[in-house]
Structure 1
Amino acid sequence: MTARRRLRSLRTRLLVFIGVTLVAVCATMALTMVFVQRAYLLGNLDDRVDNAAERSLGGAGLHPELTDDLSFLLASGHPTGMLAARLGDDGDILTAEVVRQDARPRALTDAQRAALAGVRTDGSTHTTTVPGVGIYRVTVAESDGVRVLAGLPMDDVQHMISGMVVVEAAVAVAGLAVAGGICAVVVRRQLRPLDRVAATAAEVSRAPLDRGEVTGLTRVPARDTDPASEAGQVGAALNRMIDHVESSRTARRHTEERMRRLLADASHELRTPLASIAGYAELMNRGTDRIEPVLAWRRVSAESARMTGLVEDLLLLARLDEGRPLQSSEVDMAALVAEAVWDARVTGGDHDWQLELHLDDMPLVLGDGVRLHQVVANLLANARVHTPAGTRVVAVVEARDARCVVRIRDDGPGVPPALLPRVFDRFTRADTSRARATPDSGGSGLGLAIAAAITRAHRGRIGVESVPGRTEFTIELPVMEEASAVPAARRSAASV
C-alpha cells in the first residue's frame, strides 16, 4: 500500500473515530438532559399531588363520619383529571371519583378502584396505572383517623418528555451533521500537508538511487515544514532525510573516486619499479655489454627496496584503518624529535636544521616510539624534499597543560592552496602527473597520510597552516598523567 493510500485510510479512520465520539457525546448529553428534565417535571408534579392530597384531606376532615363523602371535589380549584378516594382503616377503597371538566366528578369502577388499592400509605408518591383513565401519580394523606388518596395524571409530563426527546434528537442530528461536516473539512485541510509530504516521499522512492547520478531530489515545500505543527515536523524530517541521502551518495561517490585514484596511484607506483626490475633482468639474461652486472643488481635492489617500502606503507595504513593496537611504552618526545632532526641534518645537509624546546612539563607520551619517530621523520622529509636548499627548518617541542605539541616549521614556498585541504590524503602530491624529474623530487604521496593515521592512533591531532614563506605542521599528543604532574626544570632552547 502506497503512502498516499495509507494516508487516505488514516483520514477515513480518523473521521469515523471523530463521528463515533460525537455521537457518543451527543447521546450522553441528550440522555442526561432527558433524565434531568424528567426528574424536574416529576418533582413538580409530586408537589402538586401533595397539595391536592392536603386539600382533599382538609375537605374530608369537615365530615369525618361520612366515609363515602367526596363532595369536596365539587369545590373550585381542583384540576381536571384529578382523582380522590376515601380509605378505610384497613386501607380499602371506600369511594373514589375523578374530576371532569364542566361536569360532576365521575365515580370509578370496581376495576379502577382495585388498581388504587395497592397504594401504600407511607406518605410518598407512587406511580400507578388506572384502567380507562391513564397513568397517575398518587399519594395517601392521613389526619385524625381520616385517610384520603389523591392523584394527578402524568399525561402532560409524558407528552412534554416525549416532545423534548424528539426536539433533542432533531437538534443532536443537526448538530452531528454540522459538526461532522466541519470536522471533515478541518481534517482534510490539516492532513493536506501530509498528503503533499507523502507525494514527495513517493516521488523520491521512484528515483533510481541504486544507479546513476542522482541529484536535485524533490523536497517538501517550505510551507509544509513549519516546526510548529506535526505535519511540518514530518515534512522537515523528510527533507533532512533526503539531504542525508544526497550527502551520503555524494560522500560515497567521492569515496569511490578516491578508491579508484588510490588503486591507480598504487598500480603506477608498483608498476614503475617492477618495470625497472624486469628491464634490468632482461638485459642481464641477454648478457649484453651495454650494462654492468653490478650496476644492474644495484638498480634491481633499489627498485625492490622502493617497491617494498610502498607495500609496507600500504600495509601500515591498512592496519591503522583496522584499528589494530600499536606498541605502547613511555616515549620522551624531546629526545625523539632531537634524534629525528639529527637524522634529517645528515640526510639534508643543504638545509638549516634547528631544534627548540619549550617545556613546562615532561614531554612523556604513552605510545609506539618507532611509529612516532616515523611521524616526525616524515614531516622533516616533507620539508626537505619540497623546499629549496638553504631553507630553514625548525622543530619545536612544547609540553604544557597535559599536552605535548610538536611543530615542524619552514620558511619555504609553502603548500599550494588547492592542495592544502587534502594534504593528508593518500597519494596526494603536487605533481599530479606522477612524473618525477629525479628520484628525490617527491615520494609516493603516503608520508603525510601515514603521519596523520599514526597521530590519530595515538589519540592526537595533526594540522597544517601554510602561506608563502611559512609552513607549519602541528602535532598534539596527550601527555602521560604521571609526567604532567612532574614540573620541568625550566624553559630551554637549543639549535642543532
Structure 2
Amino acid sequence: MNTPPATGSRPRALRTRLLLLIGAVLVAVCAALAPVAFLVQRALLLDDLDGRVMDAAEHGLAEASLRPDDDRDLTFLDGKGHPAGLLAARLDARGTVTAAAVTGPDAGPRPLTDGRRTALHGIAPDGSPHTRTVPGLGTYRVTGLDASGVRVLAGLPVDDVQDLTGRLAVAEAALGVTGLVVAGCACAVVVGRQLRPLDRVAATAAEVARAPLGRDRPAGLPRVPEADTGPGSEAGQVGAALNRLIDHAESSRAARHRDEERVRRSEERMRRFLADAGHELRTPLASIAGYAELMNRGTAPFDPALAWRRVSAESARMAGLVEDLMLLARMDEGRPPRSAEVDLAALVAEAVWEARAADPDRTWRLALPLDALDASALVTGDEPGLRKAVANLLANARLHTSPGTTVVAELEVDAELRVIRVRDDGPGIPPHLLATVFDRFTRADASRARSGPGAGGSGLGLAVVEAIVHAHGGRVRVDSVPGHTEFTVELPPRTELPSEGRVLGLSEQR
C-alpha cells in the first residue's frame, strides 16, 4: 500500500524550487544589467572628459593663434587655471609634433621627450577624440584642432575616469549583491506567505488520505478552512476544489450507506411481508379446510348451506388478499399505470353510492365543487386503480368506525392539484400508529376496530392506496385526532391524451 507523503513536504519542495527560480532570474537580470550600466557610465564619463579636452584644445588654439608663425610656441600653458596633467602640443603642416609639454600639479609645464611625443603621431587635427598611451604618463584622451594653419593638440589623462568607473563597478557590485540578498529574503517571505495556505491544503489532503474509508471512520472528513478557499489565488482555488472533492466523497459515502440501509430495510420488509402474507393466507385456508372436512364427514347436526357460505366467504377473502398482494407486487416493480382521462367527480360519487348501499348503518355524504361537472375534475391515470384507492379509503372508514358515524367524501379542484378527502368523526387513529398507518399489514388497535364477525381487514388497504397514488405522481397523508380522521389524496391534473384515451365526464354521462 502506498504511504501518503509527509505533511507539507511537497509545498516545501515547491517553495524551494520557486526560490531557486526567482534567485536565478534575479542573478540573470543583474548579470545582464551590470555590464550595461558599467558601459553606460563609462561612456558618460568619457563624453564628459572629451568635452573638457575639447575646451582645453579650443583654449590652446585661441592662445596659439596670437603667434601663428611659431609652431613651437606653448606659452599658453604658462598661465594658471589649467587642469592637472594637461598635455598640449603643436603640429606643423605635415602633422608632425613640433613641440609638446604637460602641466604638473605644482610645477610649470614640462616638455615631452621624443619617445613620449612619438605616441602623439598620427592624430589629425579634425576634432575627433583619440586614446593614446604616453610612456611614463599613462593613458590620455587627445583631440586636435586646426584654424588658419594653426594646429594644436590637447589631452587629459583617463586615469581619473578609469578609477571612477572602477569604484562605481565595485559599488554597483556590492549594491547588486545586497539587493540580491534583500530581494531573496523578501521573495522567501512573500513566497512562504503565499504558500502557507497551500501548506494547510496539503495537510488537509494528507489527513483525508490517512482517514479510514470503512464504516468505522469518523462521521465527517476534515475540510480546508474557509479562509484558504478564496477564488483570488491559486492556492484558494485548489483548497475549494479539494473541499468539493471531499463533499462529493462524503455524498457518495452517505448515498452508499443509504442504499445499504434501504436494501437492509427492504429485505426486512420482504421477510415481514412474506411472514404476514403467509399468516393471512393460512387463516382462510384453515377455515376452508375445516368446513370441507365437516362437509366430508356429514355429521349431524350440520348445515351444508352454512358451510358453503363460510367457504365462499373465506375464498372471497383469500382472493381479495391475493389480488392486493399482486397489485402491490406490480407497483413495486415500477410498472406505470394505464393512462386515460378519469373523471374524479364521477369516480368519487359512484364510490360513495356503493358504500351507502353496502353499509346503511353509517351516514355517507358527498361534497363536490360547483365546477366539478366540467373538465376541471379530470386527471390522467388508471380508472380501476383510482376507483380501488377511493373504495379502500371508504372501506377503511367503514371497518374502523362504529355504526352512526358520519363519513364525508370531498373533492377539491384548483389550478395545480385535484384533492380527494375522506373524513369521519370516529374514534381516531392512535398517535403511535400514524407513522406506520400506510405500511403493509398494519392494523388499528381496539379503539378503532369494530367488533363482530369479519371485523377488521388484512392490513393492506391503505398500503394499496399509497401505492396507487404514488404510481400516479401524487401523495396521500392522514391527520387524526379523536373525533376527526381525515385522509387526503393529492393528484396532478390531467395531461393531453389522444381522443381514444378519454373517459366521459360526469356531465357527459348524465
TM-score for the superposition, normalised by structure 2: 0.71
Q: What is aligned with 1:47? A: 48
Report deviation, 1:298: 6.2
Match of 1:193 among 183, 200, 207: 200
Match of 1:352 among 352, 363, 371: 363
Partner of 1:446, secondary structure, is: helix
Q: What is aligned with 1:63? A: 64
Match of 1:309 among 317, 324, 327: 324
Match of 2:464 among 426, 447, 452: 447
Summarize the Cα distance change of 1:164–1:272 in structure 2 as closer, same or farther, 3 Å threshold. Answer: same
Q: Aligned residues: percent identity?
A: 27
* Cα distance in structure 1, aligned partners of 2:277 and 2:266: 16
* Cα distance in structure 1, aligned partners of 2:166 and 2:287: 123
Q: What is aligned with 1:289? A: 297
* Cα distance in structure 2, aligned partners of 1:10 and 1:377: 71
**Greater shift in the superposed pair: 365-374 or 135-144:** 135-144
Per-residue CA deviation, residues 107-136 of structure 1 (Å, 9 max, x unaligned), is 67477447x75x99576x67x574867776
Q: What is aligned with 1:366? A: 380
Match of 2:440 among 410, 422, 427: 427
Structure 1 vs Structure 2 CA RMSD: 4.6
Alignment of 1:338-417 (within 5 A): 338-360=349-371, 362-417=376-431
Per-residue CA deviation, residues 166-203 of structure 1 (Å, 9 max, x unaligned), is 21232034214522552465356434432442243124
Q: What is aligned with 1:329? A: 340
* Paired AA for residue 18 in structure 2: F
Report deviation, 1:263: 0.7
- Asked if the contact 1:88–1:147 (Cα under 8 Å) also holds between the matched residues in 2, the reply is no
Q: What is aligned with 2:502? A: none
* Cα distance in structure 1, aligned partners of 2:400 and 2:98: 135
Runs of 5+ in structure 1 lacking a partner?
484-496
Q: What is aligned with 1:208? A: 214
Summarize the Cα distance change of 1:265–1:148 in structure 2 as closer, same or farther, 3 Å threshold. Answer: same
- Asked if the contact 2:340–2:381 (Cα under 8 Å) also holds between the matched residues in 1, the reply is yes
TM-score for the superposition, normalised by structure 1: 0.73
Report deviation, 1:13: 1.5
Partner of 2:338, secondary structure, is: coil
Report deviation, 1:91: 8.0
Per-residue CA deviation, residues 365-400 of structure 1 (Å, 9 max, x unaligned), is 233333333333343334334444433222222223
Summarize the Cα distance change of 1:364–1:58 in structure 2 as closer, same or farther, 3 Å threshold. Answer: same
Report deviation, 1:98: 6.2
* Cα distance in structure 2, aligned partners of 1:121 and 1:465: 118
- Asked if the contact 1:363–1:399 (Cα under 8 Å) also holds between the matched residues in 2, the reply is yes
* Cα distance in structure 1, aligned partners of 2:287 and 2:428: 38
- Asked if the contact 1:357–1:397 (Cα under 8 Å) also holds between the matched residues in 2, the reply is yes
* Cα distance in structure 2, aligned partners of 1:256 and 1:110: 113
- Asked if the contact 1:34–1:161 (Cα under 8 Å) also holds between the matched residues in 2, the reply is no
- Asked if the contact 2:85–2:103 (Cα under 8 Å) also holds between the matched residues in 1, the reply is yes
* Cα distance in structure 1, aligned partners of 2:485 and 2:100: 125
* Cα distance in structure 1, aligned partners of 2:385 and 2:321: 19
Partner of 1:479, secondary structure, is: coil
Partner of 2:64, secondary structure, is: coil
Q: What is aligned with 1:493? A: none
Summarize the Cα distance change of 1:129–1:442 in structure 2 as closer, same or farther, 3 Å threshold. Answer: farther
- Asked if the contact 1:56–1:72 (Cα under 8 Å) also holds between the matched residues in 2, the reply is no
Larger radius of gyration: 2
Q: What is aligned with 2:483? A: 469
* Paired AA for residue 357 in structure 1: L
Per-residue CA deviation, residues 196-251 of structure 1 (Å, 9 max, x unaligned), is 422431242x2424xxx655345449xx3447653875686577457636643553
The number of residues matched between the two structures is 462
* Cα distance in structure 2, aligned partners of 1:120 and 1:348: 141
* Cα distance in structure 1, aligned partners of 2:333 and 2:28: 75
* Cα distance in structure 1, aligned partners of 2:293 and 2:134: 139
**Greater shift in the superposed pair: 305-314 or 410-419:** 410-419
Q: What is aligned with 1:10? A: 11
Match of 2:163 among 153, 156, 165: 156
* Paired AA for residue 49 in structure 1: D
**Greater shift in the superposed pair: 46-55 or 96-105:** 96-105
